[in-house]
A and B are shown apart, each in its own frame.
Chain A
Amino acid sequence: MTDRPLTKNIDLARGALNLTDYEAAGGYAGARAIANGLEPSDVLERVKNSGLKGRGGAGFPTGLKWSFVPKSDDATIQRYLVVNADEMEPGTFKDRMLMEGDPHLLIEGMIIAAYTIQASRAFIFLRGEYFDAERSLAKAIAEARESGHLGRDIFGTGFDFDIVLHTSAGRYICGEETALLNALEGKRANPRAKPPFPQVSGLWGKPTIVNNVETLCNLPGILAHGVEWYQSLGSGGDFGTKLFGVSGRVKNPGCWELPFGVSIREVIEGYGGGMQEGFTLKAFLPGGGSTDFLTPAHLDTPLTYAAIGELGSRLATGTMILLDDKTCPIGMIGNLMKFFAHESCGFCTPCRDGLPWVDTIFRDLETGKGSFKDIDILKDHVEYLGPGRTFCALAPGATAPLGSGLTLFAEEFAAHVSGAKCPYH
């Protein structure tokens, strides 16, 4: 049994396995386990027991999320599975690898999830710029349809299931699951009020589960090899493996499947090869652009949701962005603020008006036009845009690097004002 269930088939130089080769490598065994008599309630129980948590960023237990779909034997009630493949978190490049590298793994995971919630139709909401993933998925879906793995009575279970591949047109807010549902319905992608939650009233008002690509790719292994095997893969209270990535000035930037509990140091210095010659690590965002900065003092922390949470940050997407000593921290945060300001959907005032204000202040600081009053205004915005003040999590996400950066780089902020220029230029 493998210890890399997500990436064992992936060789980007070779290209993705076709259906025949995927099955020869043990693929669709999870789906066949269903055909051998697992009821939807059995699968739900296994996924709950596995401890699988959502890999899109929030880390919500997958089995628990599924269990909120109202139970009913009425097969005429349409339910939907939606795959969130709108990867757009700054510094995040993990779902791309899974979709380009092993599309049948995602399809198999979708079959398992859809069977559990009895959703006869699924939509893959794919980022519009991911043309290579689109080609890879379209080919795999066609192969699966051709072989009867998708369509009517799949695997002899009496269950009908098919997939629609929807490509979006670039908007970060679509990663928010209710905004994604509005986009799929052909509307502007503003988030919806919750409740009702999508599990009860989602796509076109029907019960809907939205899962991230990497989350779904965990399912075939859990069904094929069992809960005990899955739990043996992780440590520190999280189970299975996770894609961890490093970008920035390391010798070997990349993305690797590793067990939960591996230390940050092992990822950055081991797999990432350490910093490039002439650069030292100053700080890093542990899981994409919406996480709080950590520092080299935290390098020996194990990568688990709890351990990173205890440091006041979040594991989130698991893809780390490294800040080196030659790069301006204010410039880096300003770059993130420009992103969040641009990607605000504009629905609620704190986000629509607050983020551009923050963005403008960072531009002023960079060009030597900033004042100490501006820094106070930035501090105020950490509160104004924080959790509970906005309609969705976009602006609170922006306050993570902003708030932690204001504390951690207080001297650099002050130097931009007192020196009336960026000291890194």
Chain B
Amino acid sequence: MQQHVIASSSPNPRPRARDLSAEEIAEIEHELTLYPTKQAVGLEALKIVQRHQGWVSDESMLAIADYLSVPVSELEGVATFFNLIYRRPVGEKVILFCDSVSCWIMGCDKVKAQLSAHLGIDYGETTADGEYTLIPVPCLGDCDKAPVMMVGEAMHRHLCVDTIASVLPLKNVRGDK
């Protein structure tokens, strides 16, 4: 099989495709039965690998492109188009913090400031213990319960400054040994 090589600024200057795991391959194969083209499974394959690996590394990107026989440039174009495909490592859980209009009206900026102080991270950063990555997300569609955020797959609603810290327990963040 042809091995794609792409330029990268990572310590490994010429990443090579990693081997997809048996589980990843089985899940991708299932998706291939649902769509008439291999290309259509690109996003699904990225999500499958991300579910297993936590994020999509260059090595994973190359492996998926090879497996689906699609140009890696096109797959990268899809990966970087979507908000929820992570091309850098993230924490155990990603916090998707809604900063859209209804949550903004209901005071999400103050809640976010409190959350950032509690976790010691701003948008795009990961806590020292590797537990949480904080990312802003467009409207989560739960506007009658604003402000809201999603941690992993769980919604947290009616957030407020006083209680936000209790929603997310900390392990070893910020010198809290």
Contacts and interface: CB of A to CB of B under 8 A. Distances in A.
B77 interface: yes
B143 A170 contact: no
Interface string B19-53: 00000000000000011110111111011000000
A92 B102 CA distance: 9
A127 interface: yes
Contact of B43 (A169, A204, A345): A169
Most buried by A among B70, B140, B145: B140
Interface in A309-352: 319, 321-324, 327, 331-332, 335-336, 339, 342-343, 345
Contacts of B41: 186
Given A129-B96, A170-B137, A186-B43, A255 B144 contact: yes
Given A91-B101, A170-B84, A253-B144, A185 B138 contact: no
B150 interface: yes
Interface residues of B, number: 42
A92 B139 contact: yes
B44 to A, nearest CB: 8
Interface in B44-103: 44, 46-47, 70, 74, 77-78, 81-85, 96, 99-102
Contacts of B84: 128-129, 169-170
Contacts of B138: 88, 90, 170, 172, 339, 342-343
A152 interface: no
A124 to B, nearest CB: 12
A128 to B, nearest CB: 5
B113 interface: no
Given A171-B82, A171-B83, A186-B43, A245 B104 contact: no
Contact of A332 (B43, B46, B83, B105): B105
A168 interface: yes
Contact of A91 (B70, B82, B139, B153): B139
A102 interface: no
Interface residues of A, number: 54
A188 B39 CA distance: 11
A186 B78 contact: yes
A186 B74 CA distance: 9
A172 B37 CA distance: 24
A96 to B, nearest CB: 5
A305 to B, nearest CB: 22
Contacts of B46: 169
A189 B40 contact: no
Contacts of B137: 129, 170
Contacts of A343: 138
B100 A90 contact: yes
A336 B96 contact: no
A89 B139 contact: yes
Interface in A232-264: 245-249, 253-255
Given A186-B78, A247-B106, A253-B144, 14 more contacts: A87-B141, A127-B141, A129-B150, A131-B153, A164-B35, A167-B47, A170-B138, A171-B83, A187-B39, A253-B145, A289-B100, A324-B105, A332-B101, A332-B105
Nearest first, the 9 closest Cβ-Cβ pairs linking A and B are: A170-B83, A169-B82, A247-B143, A253-B144, A186-B42, A169-B84, A247-B102, A186-B39, A186-B40
